[in-house]
A and B are shown apart, each in its own frame.
Chain A
Amino acid sequence: MKLKHKLNRMKHHMSHEPAEKAEEHGQTKQKENPQQEIPFLDKWKEMDAVPLYLDEQYVLRREKQYSLDYRHGRRRLGSIFQIFERWGRELADHPLRPSGRRPQDLLFFDTETTGLNGGAGNMIYLLGGAWFSEERVHVTQYFLPGPESEAALYYHFLTEMEHSIHHLATYNGKAFDWPQVKTRHTFVRHEVPKLPDFGHFDLLHAARRLFKRVLPSCRLSVVEEEVLGIIRENDTPGYLAPMLYFDYLREQNPVLIEGVIEHNEQDVLSLISLYIELSERVLEGGTTPEETYEIGRWFEQVKEWDKAVWCYEKARHTSEEWQAAYDYALALVLKKQQQTAEAFPYLETVLQSGGAYAAESAVELAKYMEHECKDPEKALHYTGAARAVSTVTELRDDLDKREKRLAGKIRPGK
C-alpha cells in the first residue's frame, strides 16, 4: 500500500476545500442495487413522497396542496387570479405582465444543488415547483436519491411539468438555476425529453428594481421578512443544502434532508407571494414616491414613455425630497420623445435648485440651445451655469470642449 502511504504523507499539500472534517460515520457501504429496496421508504411516505421509476432508476416525488385562500405572508395565494385580471386590463407593456397566459401556465421554480459555483460537476438534487390548478395550489418536488438517478429525475420532471414549464418564475433563475438545469440535462439528453424554450420572470431582477435602495440586501429571506411579511420558523438556511445532501447520501435517511425540502417548498410559495406583491405595486404605481420613481424608470426601460411620465409626475407631486431627481428624469423622458420644449421648464427648475442634477440639467439646456434653438450664446450661458454648479471633475473636459466649440460658433473665423 505504498501509494496510500504517500497520499497520506502528502495530505497537507492537497486541500479539498471542505473545511469541516466529516464526522466519524464509519460505514459508508451502499446497497448495490438501490431500486430493489428503497431505504427508509416509510419515512419518505410520511413526508408525502413516492418513488417514480425509470428503467433501473428512481426519483422521489413529493406533493403538497394548498387552498387558494392560504396566506403565505400577507398575501392570499389565490389573489394571483385577480392580479392576472388586472394585468389584462393594463395596456402598457411590462416585464411582469403575463400577456395572455393564465396562472395555471406558470411554474414557480427553485432548485437545490451540491455547490454554488456552477460547472459540470455541480449537481441539482432537488427540482421544486409550485403551480396552480383552478381550485388549488400544488407544490411538486422531485428529489434525486443518488447521483446515478439523474435520467429519472429529469424524465419525470420534464414529462409531468410539461403544462407549466414553459413559463418559469424564479429567483435568480436566469443566471443560476436554469443554466445549471441545462448543464445537467446535457448529461442525460439522450434519455429524457428536450428542454423547452421558455418564458421567464426572474423575480430577483424585479425585486432589485423596487427594493435595492430600501433593503440591506435583496436575498429572498430579507425580501420575505421586510416586504412579504413571511417569518420562517426553524428554517434550514440555503447554504447548508450541499452539506446536508452529502450527509444524506452517506446515511440515506431522509430526515437529514427534510429541512432542505421544506425550505425549498417555502421558497417556491414565496415566489407566488412575491409575484403578487410586485405586480400589485407596479399596477398601483408604487407605495412611496421613491418606489413610484423606480417603477417609472422600469417603464422607461421598456419604452412605455407615457407610463414613465405618469410615474415621475406622481412622484413629484407626492414628495418634495427628491424633486430634482424626478424632474430631471421627467425632462429626459420628454426629450427622448422629442418634446424638448416641454422638458425645458423642468430642467430650468432643477438648475435653479442648484443641488443634485443641476449641472447635468445645465448641460442638457446648453445642448438644447445649441442644437435646436441654434443659439450659441445662450448655450454658452448654460455651460457657464453648469461650471458654476458642477462638483465632478469628469464634467470639466466635456465643458471645455463644448465651450470651445460654442466660442467658435459665436465668433466665426477666430
Chain B
Amino acid sequence: MQKQNLQQVMDWMKNDPEMGQRIEYWHTIDEKPPRTSPFPETLDTRLRKALEQRGISELYIHQAEALQKSGAERRNTVAVTPTASGKTLCYNLPVLQSILEDKESRALYLFPTKALAQDQKSEMNELIEDMGEDIRSYTYDGDTDAGIRQVIRKAGHVVMTNPDMLHSAVLPHHTKWVSLFENLKYIVIDEIHTYRGVFGSHTANVLRRLKRIAEYYGSSPVFICTSATIANPRELAETLTGEPFHLIDENGAPRGKKHFVFYNPPVVHEALNIRKGAVSEVNTLAARFLKENIQTIVFARSRVTVEVILTHLQQLVKKELGPKSIQGYRGGYLPKQRREIENGLRTGDVMGVVSTNALELGVDIGQLQVCLMTGYPGSVASTWQQAGRAGRRQDESLIVMVANSTPVDQYMIQQPDFFLEQNPESARTDPDNLIILVDHVKCAAFELPFHEGETFDGVDIREVLDYLSEEQVLHPRGHKWYWMNEAFPAHGVSLRSASQENVVIIDQTETGSAKVIGEMDRFSAMTLLHDNAIYLHQGIQYQVRELDWDEKKAYVEEVEVEYYTDANLAVDLKVLEEDKRTDYPSFITAFGDVMVNAKATIFKKIKMTTFENIGSGPIHLPEEELHTNACWLSFPEETVNEFGKNSLEQALIGCANVLRHTAPIHVMCDRSDLHVVPQMKATHSERPTIFLYDRYPGGVGLSSAVHRDMKNILNDCRKLITSCPCTSGCPSCVGSDLNLDEEAKWLSLRLIRILEEERQIEAET
C-alpha cells in the first residue's frame, strides 16, 4: 500500500466528517523568510572563515545584534529565540571574538541541565576546530573526571556548567579558579526562562555571589542571556542578575508553514460533559502518522503518561516498524543516548519520540514533522516551545493539541483566539525570599567575609549578618563578618528541591541489593510516599512498605496492582501578619505571612480503569508546618447574609477550583507550587476566605504576583466558567465535588462578578 505524506494526511483530517467534529479550530501560521545581515567588518577573520566553512555566509539579524551589543559595546543582552533559531551564535560569537583578541579572556556558561552543557560543548568545539585555534572549552559538572578538573580551572577558556555546580563546587572553592575569575569577560546564561520560582530565586542569589567573587578578583563580566518566548525576558534577566539589559527580540531565523490544530476528544457522557481521554486520542492519532512513516513527537505532562503512550505505540507499530522505532525521552538522558535518538531520526530508524516536558528545554534532538500534545502544556510559553519541535528547517509541519477534560484545556481549546492572541506568560522569581537569601548570605560569607557597609548586590543585609552572628555562624570582628563555623554551607542548600530535607526512596525489591531510586521533598512525601502508597517510577509500580519519617527514608517494593492511591491533606491556616490589605464594599483582599499546618489523614485506593474508590486506609504522619506568604480574599458578615451562607460556600469551593487552574497559569508555576484553600471560617477572622499560598517556606513571589494580578486572574476565571458548555458545573470548570450542588456554577460566577465589579468601581473612583 502506498504511504501517505503529511499533506495527504492533513487533507484527510480536514475532510473527514468525524475529524471535523473534533477539530475545534485549524490555525495556519505562514512561513517567514530569513532576515540577515552581512558579517561585520570587525569580526575576526579566523572566526569568519570557520563560519563560512560551515556554510554560514551571513548572520541572522538577532545574531548580528548580539555581536554588536554584547561584543563591540560590551552591554548585557538577552535574546528571545524560538527553538532552532541559531541562538548559540548569539553568545558564541562575542565570546570567541573576545578570546581571539586576548587569549587570557575567560567565559563562564550556565545551562540549566548537564545535558544542555554537553550539547553546547560539542557545538562550540566544532567551531573551534574549524578555526584551528588553541581555545579550550570544557564542561564542568559532577561527571567531570577528577584528573582533568585542575586543567579546566587553570586553562579552560570557556567553562560550561550549571547553577548547582557553580553553587556547590566552583564558588566555595574560588581560590582554585583564580585565572577564571581574574579574566572573566562573559557570563552566558542560556534558557533563562527556566530560572523561575524557587529555582530562579536560588539562581539569582548564586549570581549575586558570582558577581561578588568576580569583583573581588577585579573583573566585571558582561552577561549574555537567551530565553524562550516569555512576556518579560528583560525583566527576568534583570531580576536574576541585578544588571540592566538590552533586549533582542527581532528574530531573523526563517520558519516553515505551520498548522496548529485544536483537537477536542468526543464527548462520551453528555450530562457530565465527560470527554474521551486525551491519551487514547493521542495514541490513535500518533499511530496514524507513524504508520505513514511521518516522524512524530508526542509530548505528555507526566512521566507516567509518557510510559503509557510509549508502551502503547511500541506495541502498535512493533510489526511494521520494529520496537526501536519509537523512543521515550524522560529527561536526564545522557548525551550518548540522545545522539542515538538524533541519529535514528536522521536515518529514519526512529520514527517517533514520546517525551515529557524535559525536551522542551532546548536540547536538540532534531526536528520532526508532527508534534502532538497530550493536553495543554500548562503555559503559552511552553506550548510554543513544544510546537517548535515540529518543522524541519523550512518544511511544512503540523501541531495538534489534544485537550484534556480539565478546565484550562477546555477553555484554551474552545477559545483558540484567546490562546493565539494571548501574550506568553511572565516568568516570576523572587530573589529576596528571606530563607533563600539567608542561605546564600551564609554561602557568600564562607566565600569572602562581608565588610561593613557592603550590600549583597544592592540588598541591605546588615540585619541578616547580625542575625547570623547571634546564631554564631558568623563572627563579627573589626569591620568584617567572618565565616566561623565548621559546616560547608553550600552542601546544605539545594537549588532545586522545594525543601531542604528530602525523603530518599529506596527500592528493596531484591533483598540484599537495595538501591536508591529517587528523592522527594518532605511536603509531597506526606501524600505520595506514606505507608502503602502506590508510587510510580519510570512506569513501574512500587508500593511503599515503610516510610521512616525520622530518617527520611521510604522503603518501596515493586508490585503489580490495578489501582493507584490518592491521599487527603488536612490543612490549617493561620494569618501571622497582614502586609497589605484593601477593603471593598463586599470583600477584602490581603497579602501577608501565614503559617500552614498540614497533616495527611487518609488515602483512597482508586481503580485505574474506572476511577472507582475500592478501599482506603489511615496515614499516621506528624503534622508539617510551613511559614510562607499567601494572598487571600475574604468576605464580611454582610456579604454572607446577602449571598446566603450555603450559597456562598458553594461559590467559594467553585471559585477555588477555578483559581487552582487559572492562577498558576498567570504566575507561571506548577499547580503544586501554589495551593488554593477555601475556608468558610478562617482561623484569623472567622470569615469565609479563599487562600492562595506559596508552597515553599518564606514564599517565592507566587502569591504576591497573584495579589498584584488579581484583576486578570478573575477575568480569566469568569471566561473559563462562561465558556464551559456544561449546564451546572463539571470537572472542567467549578468542579464536581460531592459538596457541590447544581447551583454551584452560576453561584461561582455571581461571586466573581461581584469581585470584578467592585474592583472596577474602586479603580474608577
A interface residues, Cβ below 8 angstroms from B: 1, 3-4, 6-7, 9-10, 12-18, 22, 28, 30, 32, 34, 114-123, 146-148, 182-184, 186-187, 242-243, 246, 249-250
A10 and B697 contact, Cβ closer than 8 Å, known pairs A16-B442, A121-B447, A183-B176: yes
On whether the beta carbons of B485 and A114 are closer than 8 Å, the reply is: yes
On whether the beta carbons of A120 and B448 are closer than 8 Å, the reply is: yes
CA distance A114 to B474 in the complex (A): 12
CA distance A14 to B500 in the complex (A): 9
On whether the beta carbons of B175 and A186 are closer than 8 Å, the reply is: yes
Of the candidate stretches B24-32, B250-258, B295-303, B463-471, the one touching chain A is B463-471
23 contacts between A and B (CB under 8 A): A6-B593, A9-B593, A10-B697, A13-B435, A16-B442, A17-B492, A18-B473, A18-B485, A18-B486, A28-B476, A32-B478, A115-B488, A117-B488, A119-B490, A120-B174, A121-B446, A123-B483, A146-B477, A147-B480, A147-B482, A148-B477, A184-B175, A186-B178
Residues on A with beta carbons closer than 8 Å to the beta carbon of B469? 28
CA distance A9 to B698 in the complex (A): 10
On whether the beta carbons of A119 and B173 are closer than 8 Å, the reply is: yes
> Is the C-beta of B156 less than 8 angstroms from some C-beta in chain A?
no
Residues on B with beta carbons closer than 8 Å to the beta carbon of A116? 486
* A-contact bits for B157-194, CB 8 A (1 contact / 0 none): 00000000000000011111010000000000000000
CB distance from B624 to the nearest CB of A (A): 11
Closest to A10 in B: B627
On whether the beta carbons of B627 and A9 are closer than 8 Å, the reply is: yes
* A-contact bits for B674-718, CB 8 A (1 contact / 0 none): 000000000000000000000001100000000000000000000
In this complex, the member of B447, B487, B593 whose beta carbon has the largest number of chain A beta carbons within 10 angstroms is B487
CA distance A394 to B431 in the complex (A): 54
CA distance A188 to B173 in the complex (A): 15
Closest to A56 in B: B478
Q: Number of B residues contacting the other chain (C-beta, 8 Å)?
A: 47
Closest to B473 in A: A16
CA distance A146 to B468 in the complex (A): 18
CA distance A161 to B709 in the complex (A): 67
A14 and B439 contact, Cβ closer than 8 Å, known pairs A30-B477, A121-B445: yes
> Is the C-beta of B571 less than 8 angstroms from some C-beta in chain A?
no
> Is the C-beta of B438 less than 8 angstroms from some C-beta in chain A?
yes
* A-contact bits for B83-126, CB 8 A (1 contact / 0 none): 00000000000000000000000000000000000000000000
Closest to B485 in A: A18
On whether the beta carbons of B471 and A16 are closer than 8 Å, the reply is: yes
Question: Contacts A12-B625, A17-B485, A246-B484 given; 9 further ones with Cβ under 8 A?
Answer: A6-B593, A115-B485, A119-B490, A120-B175, A121-B488, A123-B483, A147-B484, A183-B173, A246-B485
CA distance A4 to B467 in the complex (A): 7
Closest to B448 in A: A120
Residues on A with beta carbons closer than 8 Å to the beta carbon of B435? 10, 13-14
B interface residues, Cβ below 8 angstroms from A: 172-176, 178, 434-435, 438-439, 442, 445-449, 463-464, 467-469, 471-473, 475-478, 480, 482-492, 500, 576, 593, 625, 627, 697-698
On whether the beta carbons of A13 and B485 are closer than 8 Å, the reply is: no
Closest to A116 in B: B486
On whether the beta carbons of A22 and B472 are closer than 8 Å, the reply is: yes
Cβ-closest 8 pairs across A and B? A121-B446, A17-B487, A186-B175, A117-B488, A147-B482, A121-B483, A13-B697, A119-B172
CA distance A207 to B175 in the complex (A): 31
CA distance A1 to B446 in the complex (A): 26
Closest to A183 in B: B175
On whether the beta carbons of A10 and B434 are closer than 8 Å, the reply is: yes
CA distance A184 to B175 in the complex (A): 8
On whether the beta carbons of B486 and A114 are closer than 8 Å, the reply is: yes
Residues on A with beta carbons closer than 8 Å to the beta carbon of B697? 10, 13
On whether the beta carbons of A13 and B627 are closer than 8 Å, the reply is: yes
CA distance A178 to B439 in the complex (A): 29
Closest to A20 in B: B472
On whether the beta carbons of B447 and A120 are closer than 8 Å, the reply is: yes
CA distance A116 to B500 in the complex (A): 22
A15 and B698 contact, Cβ closer than 8 Å, known pairs A114-B485, A120-B448, A148-B478: no
On whether the beta carbons of B446 and A120 are closer than 8 Å, the reply is: yes
A182 and B175 contact, Cβ closer than 8 Å, known pairs A7-B438, A18-B472, A147-B449: yes
CA distance A116 to B491 in the complex (A): 13
On whether the beta carbons of B473 and A10 are closer than 8 Å, the reply is: no
On whether the beta carbons of B487 and A148 are closer than 8 Å, the reply is: no
CB distance from B704 to the nearest CB of A (A): 14
Closest to B466 in A: A4
Residues on B with beta carbons closer than 8 Å to the beta carbon of A182? 175
On whether the beta carbons of A246 and B464 are closer than 8 Å, the reply is: no
Residues on B with beta carbons closer than 8 Å to the beta carbon of A15? 492, 500
On whether the beta carbons of A6 and B434 are closer than 8 Å, the reply is: yes
Residues on B with beta carbons closer than 8 Å to the beta carbon of A115? 485-488
Closest to A16 in B: B473
Closest to B445 in A: A121
CB distance from A190 to the nearest CB of B (A): 11
CA distance A249 to B473 in the complex (A): 12
CA distance A12 to B438 in the complex (A): 13
Pick from A3, A183, A242: contact of B486, CB under 8 Å: A242
Pick from B463, B487, B593, B625: contact of A18, CB under 8 Å: B487
CB distance from B642 to the nearest CB of A (A): 37
On whether the beta carbons of A16 and B593 are closer than 8 Å, the reply is: no
Residues on B with beta carbons closer than 8 Å to the beta carbon of A187? 175
A9 and B576 contact, Cβ closer than 8 Å, known pairs A16-B487, A183-B175: yes
